Amino acid sequence: MTAMTSFGSTPKTLSEKLDWLDVRYWRFGHDELLEDHLFDLYAVGDDGAMTAQPRVDTLTGETRGLMVLGRSGDGKTALLMRTLRASPVLREFGQDMTGNTLFITVPPEATVKKLAELILARTGYKKIDSRLRSSDAWEMVVHRLGKVGITTVVIDECHHMFRTGAGRDKQGAIQSLKHILQSAGGVALIVAGVPSLRDEILAEPSGETYRRFQELKLSAVLPDTRNAALFATNLRQCAGVLGIHIPADDAFPERILFAHRGQVGRCVNLAKEILREATTRGRDALSLAAADRVFRKSNTGVGQTPFHDAPWETVRVELEAIGWGM
């Protein structure tokens, strides 16, 4: 497997290089795990490839769901969007009302009913009666999904459905997820959120909704793992295209991963920021001093950073002694 999915054409000018770097997606083991989970959710064609038709339990008529869990910055949204873009069968449902996969992000303030209204509006149903009850609104959602040909719903930031406060309804939130899984034509449901989302769904006394979900937890990239090696490869390949040398003895990949405790999204962004800094300053090699400056710009008030100019093993031991750690 190559680490990065595509290089496109080699960038030459400074602005081409920066744009190129910006949109680079770094592949990790998470991508394969998600693909593997998705494979379970859908019917398989005679050629052995996944189709867009969700697998339906013949006895209950229900589909299955997938929960993608991770801390903020672990890269849930980037992973889901990338997988969707790269899928040969799932196509995002857009403004032109085509596509079989609806990607919806729950706004922090949305109530369960509001979310139903949002889905109805996105799928072209505008005549929503404000007196509609939440459960009726979800009935309409399910009907609407079938009508416009949506067979997969991705609900990102799903934990926002479970916030407490006035007008909030955790039972209703669970119910609405179950509605989707029980919809007539068959709709696969992918929900993504912070780890507490799992507890919220698990809190249902009967546990019946939780049972319908598979789980993918995005773990941190730990030292000396395949994902750490992929991180180093991605970094080296990006630097290569940008014409930037990475001094091998300085342990840049290890330091960057340590700096954000292996959280994929945050570590990739830091790596890109360090590469960007060198590119825009016209330098042809990374330096610890420059990386230290980059890190401090978005992490003010830290004493020693992982980019301290000393052998990495020494720096790591010192940082761990003052409470840093993966």
Ligand X SMILES: Nc1ncnc2c1ncn2[C@@H]1O[C@H](COP(=O)(O)OP(=O)(O)OP(=O)(O)O)[C@@H](O)[C@H]1O
- Footprint on this chain of ligand X (rule: CB under 6 A): 25-26, 70, 72-78, 264-265, 268-269
**Nearest 5°: CA angle at 79, between 28 and 10?**
70
- Residues contacting Mg ion: total by CB under 5 A: 1
Q: Check if the beta carbon of residue 201 is closer than 8 Å to that of residue 213.
A: yes
Shortest approach of ligand X to residue 110 CB, angstroms? 15
Nearer to ligand X by Cβ, of 25 and 125: the residue is 25
Shortest approach of Mg ion to residue 45 CB, angstroms? 31
User: CA-to-CA distance for 192 and 147, rounded, in angstroms?
Assistant: 25
φ, ψ of residue 258 in degrees (nearest 5): -65, -40
Nearer to Mg ion by Cβ, of 76 and 144: the residue is 76
Shortest approach of ligand X to residue 81 CB, angstroms? 8
- Binding partner of residue 265 among Mg ion, ligand X, none, CB cut-off 5 to 8 Å per kind: ligand X
User: CA-to-CA distance for 115 and 136, rounded, in angstroms?
Assistant: 13
User: CA-to-CA distance for 211 and 206, rounded, in angstroms?
Assistant: 10
Shortest approach of ligand X to residue 320 CB, angstroms? 25
DSSP, collapsed to helix, strand or coil, labels residue 284 as coil
Nearer to ligand X by Cβ, of 172 and 265: the residue is 265
- Binding partner of residue 99 among ligand X, Mg ion, none, CB cut-off 5 to 8 Å per kind: none
Shortest approach of ligand X to residue 49 CB, angstroms? 24
Shortest approach of Mg ion to residue 194 CB, angstroms? 9
Alpha helices in 149-246, H assignment, sequence order: 170-181, 196-202, 226-242
Nearer to ligand X by Cβ, of 137 and 158: the residue is 158
Comparing every residue's Cβ against ligand X, the nearest one is: 265
Nearer to ligand X by Cβ, of 211 and 217: the residue is 217
Shortest approach of ligand X to residue 227 CB, angstroms? 11
User: CA-to-CA distance for 254 and 240, rounded, in angstroms?
Assistant: 18
Nearer to Mg ion by Cβ, of 159 and 255: the residue is 159
Q: Check if the beta carbon of residue 128 is closer than 8 Å to that of residue 166.
A: no
Residues 47-106 that bind Mg ion (CB under 5 A): 77
Long-range CB contact pairs, 265-272, < 8 A, 24+: 265/73, 265/74, 265/75, 265/78, 266/73, 267/221, 267/231, 268/26, 268/75, 268/231, 268/234, 270/294, 270/295, 271/231, 271/234, 271/235, 271/238, 272/21, 272/22, 272/24, 272/238
Nearer to Mg ion by Cβ, of 77 and 182: the residue is 77
- Binding partner of residue 250 among Mg ion, ligand X, none, CB cut-off 5 to 8 Å per kind: none
Query: Quick check: 269 binds Mg ion (CB under 5 A)?
Result: no
Contacting positions for Mg ion (CB under 5 A):
77
